[in-house]
């Protein structure tokens, strides 16, 4: 199991390899917009990874381009529908859901 903390409400959930951050939010009644349904065609599911980036699948070229085009070019910006947990560790993943 992988501990994931969603800010700003400090909601702690257990994740596992293969799940995305959007999956975890959905399963735990945490609201993250997802206008395109996870097809990497919008940026409404954007989150900020405050800790644990290395436990998540790397940003694809497509994800990177979408974020840059929308003005979110810093590394911590990710699309939660594309942030798949690839490794479980004792380190927490801390995710901030930005105000839209």
Closer to ligand FES by Cβ: residue 40 or 53: 40
Closer to ligand FES by Cβ: residue 65 or 75: 65
Site for ligand FES in 70-89 (CB under 6 A): 79, 81
Cα–Cα distance measured from residue 34 to residue 40, given in angstroms and rounded to the nearest whole number: 10
- 40 touches ligand FES by CB under 6 A: yes
Structure tokens at 15: 């994740």
- 41 touches ligand FES by CB under 6 A: yes
CB 86 within 8 A of CB 15: no
Cα–Cα distance measured from residue 100 to residue 93, given in angstroms and rounded to the nearest whole number: 21
- 97 touches ligand FES by CB under 6 A: no
Closer to ligand FES by Cβ: residue 3 or 34: 34
Cα–Cα distance measured from residue 44 to residue 58, given in angstroms and rounded to the nearest whole number: 19
- 30 touches ligand FES by CB under 6 A: no
Stretch of residues binding ligand FES (CB under 6 A), selected from 6-14, 34-42, 47-55, 83-91: 34-42
Beta-bridge mates of residue 5: 12, 94
């Amino acid at each position: 199991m992988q501990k994931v903390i969603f800010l700003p409400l400090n909601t702690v959930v257990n994740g596992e390899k293969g799940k995305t951050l959007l999956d975890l939010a959905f399963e735990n009644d945490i609201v993250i917009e997802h206008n395109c349904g996870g097809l990497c065609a919008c940026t409404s599911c954007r989150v900020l990874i405050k800790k644990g980036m290395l436990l998540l699948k790397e940003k694809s070229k497509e994800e990177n381009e979408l974020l840059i085009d929308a003005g979110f070019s810093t590394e911590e910006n990710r699309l939660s529908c594309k942030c798949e947990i690839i490794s479980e560790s004792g380190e927490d993943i801390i995710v901030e859901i930005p105000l839209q």
